Structure 1
Amino acid sequence: MQITINLPPDLEQDLLQQAKTANVPLQTLILQALCQRIEIPSVSASQWPEAILSYEGFSDFPKFESYRDELLPPCEPELF
């Protein structure tokens, strides 16, 4: 698809300068900007928030791992 847009001269010059600095064609720079703007969160972006990842819990609460020995093993289905 081809789209034509009219840019104000100052924006055009800024984009041209950024493309030159990044050593990429202007079309590539604009395409990258559009992709960033409309990007659907990827799998890596949908990880747990930092607040969850850095949560340390309460010092007097037993660690989850301490219950592992009490867990039942998974059921193995009979194949035949």
Structure 2
Amino acid sequence: MNFNLYLDDQTAEELDQTAKTLGETRSGLIRKALREWLDKKTLGSPGWPPLILEWQGVPDTPPFEAYRDELRPPREDAFS
């Protein structure tokens, strides 16, 4: 589908410079930006971004649970 989009001069210049820097077309950048915006707005609460969901952690870091044995045991009466 094709349609016309009117931009102010400053926005058009920034778009052209960004497209040139990234090796993209203006239409390609607009398409990607619109898709990202629609995904955020139409999915309700999309949750965490893929970058966070796919993160595997730092390999040399011990798991959080490894420190549990350093904790003091709970009091018998938690309200005392």
**What TM-score, normalized by structure 1, do the two folds share?**
0.51
Match of 2:16 in 1: 16
Match of 1:35 in 2: 35
Q: How many residues align?
A: 53
**Unmatched 5+ residue regions in structure 1?**
48-54, 62-80
The structure with higher relative contact order (CA 8 Å, sep 6+) is 1
Identity of aligned residues (%): 25
**Unmatched 5+ residue regions in structure 2?**
54-63, 75-80
Q: Cα RMSD over matched residues?
A: 3.1
Q: Which portions of structure 1, spanning 4 or more consecutive aligned residues, are displaced by more than 6 angstroms?
A: none
The alpha-carbon deviation at position 25 of structure 1 amounts to 1.0
Structure number with bigger Rg:
1
Q: Which amino acid aligns with 1:4?
A: N
**What TM-score, normalized by structure 2, do the two folds share?**
0.51
Q: Which amino acid aligns with 2:20?
A: K
Spell out the pairing of 1:1-80 with structure 2 (5 A cutoff).
Answer: 1-39=1-39, 40=43, 41=46, 45=50, 60=73
Q: Which amino acid aligns with 1:9?
A: D
